[in-house]
Each structure stands twice: as C-alpha cells, then as structure tokens.
Amino acid sequence: MIINGDIAAAALWCCLGEDHPDPITLDDVSEIIFYGLNEYLVLKKIQITDAGGSMVIHTLSAFFSLAVTLMLGTPTELELTHNTSCYHSDVFAMIGTLFFWIYWPSFNSALIDTEGFQQERAIMNTVLSIAASCASAFAASKNATLAGGVAMGTRCNLAICSAASITLGLVVGIKSTAGYYYVTPRTEHFLRAHDTCGILNLHGMPGVIGGFAGAIVTFLRPMTSMELVLRASTRRALFGWYQLLAIMSSIGIGTISGFLVGFLIKSKLFSQQKLKFDDEECNV
C-alpha cells in the first residue's frame, strides 16, 4: 500500500505558480481519483503491460495538467516576469534530478513480480534507456535527461535486446528536447496553455512513445512453442491493440478530467491568484 500510494503521488500535476493555494488540494485529490480510475481500467480490466507507469502515471498526468492550464489561461507579460529561476532553485533542481536518475530503475521495477528475473530485467532496461536519453539530451540541450526512464516504464520487464532500450532512450531524449524548443512555444501560442515545468515534453510525449513501443514489442514478439501449439497469435495481436487502447484511455481520461477540474477551480467557488508565479501571494 505504501508503494501504491507513492506511485499515485507521482501522478500529481506540475502547473506550478499558476493557481492559488486554496484549490491546490482539490487539484491533487481529483487527479489521484482519476489516476486510480484509469489504473483500474487499464491494468485490471484491459490488462496491458505498463510496469513502470508510462501510460498510467506519466501520460495521464501530463494531459491532465495541460488541460488544467488551458482552463486557467495564459499568463500576462507582467506575470511571466516572475516565472524565472534563481541560483538555489537551480541547485535543488539539479539535486532532485540526480536522485531521480539514480532511483528511477527501482521505481520502474517496484511492483514487478520477482519470478523469472523480471525485476532485474526491468532495472537493466531502464538503466540503458535512461543513460541513452541522458546522453542524447546533453548532446542537444540540458533538458529531458529523465525521458528514457519514463518511456521504458511500459516494457521494462519484457525480454528485449539492449539495443532496443538504448534506441528508445535516444529517441525520447531527442524528441523531448525538441519539444522544449518547438512544441512548448506553439502550445502556448495556439492553445494558450502554459506548461510551467515542461511536463508534456518530459512525461507526456515519452509516455506516449513508450506506450507505442510496448505495443510494437507485443505485436512483434516471437511466438513460443506453447503459443504455436495453442495458435495464440490472434490473442497476442489483441493484446497489442489493447496497448494502443490504453494510450487512448490515459490521454482521454487525463484530458477530460483536467478540463473538469480546471473549470471548477476557475469558478467563483475558489480564490483566484491575483498574480501568477508570485511567491509572496502564496506565502512562500
């Protein structure tokens, strides 16, 4: 239960500075509820492979927060002047990134069965993928060093070659870095959704890519002798489509619930923050 609670807390959104402290509790509790609903639907009913939560945690959280920020509106030029970092914030962010980098393999393998070296396989695949994404991210920019760990969550416990894990890390590292330069400005301009922490690039896109990678692995995995005897190719293909259905479920539930929560906290029932990104107003 402690591990499940910790993973549920990881699904909280990252629209920092754009909301008054009063509705933050509603935001947090609401997303945990929708996270639990999506997890039950995807893992218990559809029964797809998502050991590290690429779709259940990261994809749902990213689209939930993006929908909430869309309802909250775009910050003004005056408000954006407060949306800056400082030395101690950068230091704490770097320390947090290092801890994430070290413990992400254990995070992906926390709820995996120990039978058949699945946990060891999950740790190895995650290390290879996150190292590749880190290398590609630093080659292109300083962002997205953790994207490989997000993407590998879907298939970290599957028997895949090391080259596939490294390739996935390289792809999501470059894709996530490119998102900061090309996707985020267009999202703010056309959709008027301000992504403070870049959650769409670091969690949303790698989660979706990891979900598609899991579906591809399911479709292309060589059949075992038992599957050949039982003629289970049709059933295996069905599981591949279930993987794709889980992506749509996470995106859909996250987006719709984000719109609902954003509409509610934007109403007169809650206090509105007068100036976004103003720490003094939040008594920080």
165 within 8 A of 128, measured Cβ to Cβ:
yes
231 — alpha (psi -120 to 50), left (phi > 0) or beta? Answer: left
Quick one: average pLDDT of 2-18? 63
Query: Two tokens at 57?
Result: 């945690």
Answer yes or no: is pLDDT of 69 > 50: yes
Residue range 211-234, pLDDT digits in tens: 888 888 777 765 554 444 444 455
What pLDDT, on the 0 to 100 scale, is given for residue 256? 92
pLDDT at residue 104 is higher than 80: yes
The answer to whether 182 touches 144, Cβ cutoff 8 Å, is no
pTM, to two decimals? 0.77
The secondary structure of residue 179, as a DSSP letter, is I
Greater model confidence, 80 or 132: 132
Given this model, what pLDDT does residue 226 score? 41
Query: What single letter denotes the amino acid at residue 196?
Result: T
Q: Is the model's pLDDT at 197 over the cut of 80?
A: no
Mean pLDDT of all residues in 178-200? 77
What's domain 2-107+117-265's superfamily in CATH? Ammonium transporter AmtB like domains (1.10.3430.10)
Domain map (residue ranges) of the chain: 2-107+117-265
| Amino acid letter, residue 151 | A
Provide the pLDDT for residue 159. Answer: 67
Q: Positive or negative CA dihedral for 33, 270, 190, 201?
A: negative
Name the average pLDDT for the chain.
Answer: 75
